[in-house]
Structure 1
Amino acid sequence: MTEPDLFAPEAVVVGQPKRSKWRTYRGPALAVSTVEGTPLAEVTDIDHTHFVLAEASGEVVVRIEKRSWAEPFQQFGPVRFHFADGADREIGAAVARGLVKSRQLSLRTEQGRRLLLTRLNPASVEWRLTEADPGSGDPSPEILGRVTVSTVDSWLGLQQYVVEMTPRLDASERRAFVASVVCLHLIRRPPGEGSGAA
């Protein structure tokens, strides 16, 4: 039986696996599954700066490297994420700027396509993937994808992100989109931080 294709579904769920508050958690930082719950991949935190998205077989899909300004000013500078494949070949990037870095991520795909993952207002639980900035005043840009966040365990503050993708995105663009959702989670809830979210 073959494994489901990670980038074939129109929607996947990226979320923090459930865990016990009383025991040390040693599982993946994030899990990727179908909406129905079929496991597709896991994200492993290597050292709080390097993360690996790998399928259940162990095959590396994306390596994510987080780069930011040195202390004490890193909260003011951009946070950059670089994406590489299993052979360490660069396949894209994401950048978050501003004081509220979870408002918008600028993405670059393997083919050089520029995309924006934007939350329209600070209270929204939805981000939209577009080619043009939704806040620029131009006519409404085409929505290529959506990310909706929810809390699946309010006691521990565990989060999950439903990632919806349109047919206008090819497999490599879907890969960059899913990787950017991992980045969004890392911006909102850095490893080792409490349950407060941006």
Structure 2
Amino acid sequence: MARIQGVAQDQAGPMVKLVYWFMRRGMKKMTGRDAARGSGIEPIEIWAHQPKMMSGMGRFQQAVRKAHGVDERIKNLVELKGAQMIGCEFCVDLGSQICRNSGCSDDELLALPRYRESELFTECEKTALDYAVGVMRTPVEVTDQLFARMKEYFSDEHMVEITALLMVVNLDRFNAAFGIGSSGFSEGMVCVPPDRPAVAPGLARSA
């Protein structure tokens, strides 16, 4: 259960209700499934406490997701890897099902945590995943060598698209901070685990 309650449907204003409707429809389209637990849109229900922020965040995400220069499989893998790294349980559950719904096999999902050792991913995909890891680390660890490897496969426009997508993933630290758990989009199926818990035990005990 999240650490705060989201804005319920019957408490939401007309604009927020419309956003909820579009989000539910979008989730079903991306995953091909309904959430097994909760509404499936818990993050946006919490964002709805600040409707102007929710609207601005939504416009940014929509602009990024409307870009289609980069292969969707690569984008889905990059996004899922980023979600793993920030420990967002909601995101890895959702992202695993999005990858599966777009053609990724269970074997590929199981191999993602150790993608460098796997023969299931191309060198292009491994390079993009290396870039995702570098961008999502704190501080960022993107070397000139890694960037040069990326440029072997991706144009300047593609680089901006991939990096912007990872900025969207970084926003999902919001979900981890509020303790938003899995909605069960991958219920009964393979789900990539977070790389680490959303809250480090030492931090959880500090006051």
Q: In which range does the TM-score fall when normalised by the shorter chain?
A: 0.3 to 0.5
Kindly indicate which of the two structures has a greater share of residues assigned to strand.
Answer: 1
TM-score normalised by L of structure 2? 0.31
TM-score normalised by L of structure 1? 0.32
Kindly indicate which of the two structures has a greater share of residues assigned to helix.
Answer: 2
Report which structure shows greater RCO (CA 8 Å, sep ≥6). 2
Greater radius of gyration (CA): 2
